[in-house]
């Protein structure tokens, strides 16, 4: 486990800012305690200082997970967000998409959101903007990337993709053994 280097921090923040914009500040600078990002097995964990200090007692090869996993760095040093980060993305999300109850299952099974399943979408969503996907009952289901801007969304036919799937809560079951 180690702190992120400056480059790594930057790549991670750039990815996070696609979803929560400048709200990253609220994650870094929290009034309720000191929280930090730590890298372990190429994965970035968001940990409180207290837990971090406790975790130092566990040797590196035995430590599976600590705090909340935000995502991982790929071999080419790109950052991939994992579904476990949803708890921190959802409250600060700037752009949201609500899916209809009928399309919830499809999304949670790992499919893209089609226009037919689109309930609501935040105004002024640009194309390729990171969005958090909610059910109509405001339960966060995952996140993705807007395939169309809000304007375009209105015109497209019902079977075209509106949000590209990136992660969904179904992964907790589907990839149970790889999520940390």
Partner 1 sequence: MATCSIEDVLAKAEKDEADKLKSITVIKELDLEFDLGNMLALDKNPPNIREFREKKKDEFLRSLARDNTQLLINEMWKLPTERVDEVIVAKLPEPTTRLPREKPPPKPRPPTKWEEFAKLKGIRNKNKTNLVWDDVHNQWKRRWGYKRANDDTKEWLIEVPETADPNEDQFAKRNKAKKERVAKNEFNRLRNIARTQKIKVPGVGLAPTGQQSKSDLGKAVHVAKMSTASVGKFQDRLPKEKAPKNTGKKRKFQPLIGDFSTEKQKQLDILKIMDSKKPRLDIGKAVNKQMREEDMESGSKKKGGPGKKGRKGNFSGKKGKGAGSAKGGKNRKPRMKLGKR
Stretch that binds partner 1, among 7-15, 61-69, 79-87, 170-178 (CB under 8 A): 7-15
Q: Are 89 and 167 in contact (CB under 8 A)?
A: no
Q: Are 45 and 38 in contact (CB under 8 A)?
A: yes
Q: How many residues does the chain have?
A: 180
Distance between CA atoms of residues 165 and 11, nearest Å: 21
Candidate list 74, 77, 151, 175; residue touching partner 1; CB under 8 A: 151
Residue 108 makes contact with partner 1 by CB under 8 A: no
CB of 104 to partner 1, least distance (A): 16
CB of 50 to partner 1, least distance (A): 11
Candidate list 50, 51, 53, 78; residue touching partner 1; CB under 8 A: 53
Binding mask 56-95 for partner 1 (x = CB under 8 A): x-------------------------------------x-
The string over 145-174, giving b where at least 16 C-beta atoms fall within 10 Å of a residue's C-beta and e elsewhere, is bbbbebeebeeeeeeebbbebbbbbbbeee
Distance between CA atoms of residues 132 and 119, nearest Å: 13
Residue 123 makes contact with partner 1 by CB under 8 A: yes
Distance between CA atoms of residues 91 and 148, nearest Å: 23
Copy the structure tokens of residue 52: 């971090």
Q: Are 103 and 110 in contact (CB under 8 A)?
A: no
CB of 105 to partner 1, least distance (A): 19
Residue 13 makes contact with partner 1 by CB under 8 A: yes
CB of 173 to partner 1, least distance (A): 29
**Could you list the residues that contact partner 1 (CB under 8 A)?**
1-3, 5-6, 9-10, 13-14, 17, 22, 24-25, 28-29, 34, 36-38, 49, 52-53, 56, 94, 96, 98, 118-124, 126-127, 149-151, 153-154
């Amino acid at each position: 486990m180690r702190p992120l280097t400056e480059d790594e921090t930057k790549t991670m923040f750039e990815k996070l800012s696609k979803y929560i914009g400048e709200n990253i500040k609220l994650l870094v600078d929290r009034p309720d305690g000191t929280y930090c990002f730590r890298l372990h097995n190429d994965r970035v964990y968001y940990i409180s200082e207290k837990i971090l200090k406790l975790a130092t007692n566990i040797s590196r090869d035995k430590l599976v997970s600590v705090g909340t996993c935000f995502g991982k760095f790929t071999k080419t040093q790109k950052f991939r967000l994992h579904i476990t980060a949803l708890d921190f993305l959802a409250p600060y999300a700037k752009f949201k998409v609500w899916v209809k109850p009928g399309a919830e299952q499809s999304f949670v099974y790992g499919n893209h959101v089609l226009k037919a399943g689109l309930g609501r979408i935040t105004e002024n969503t640009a194309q390729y903007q990171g969005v958090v996907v909610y059910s109509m009952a405001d339960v966060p289901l995952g996140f993705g990337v807007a395939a169309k801007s809000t304007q375009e969304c209105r015109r497209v036919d019902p079977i075209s993709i509106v949000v590209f799937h990136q992660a969904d809560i179904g992964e907790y079951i589907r990839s149970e053994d790889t999520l940390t």
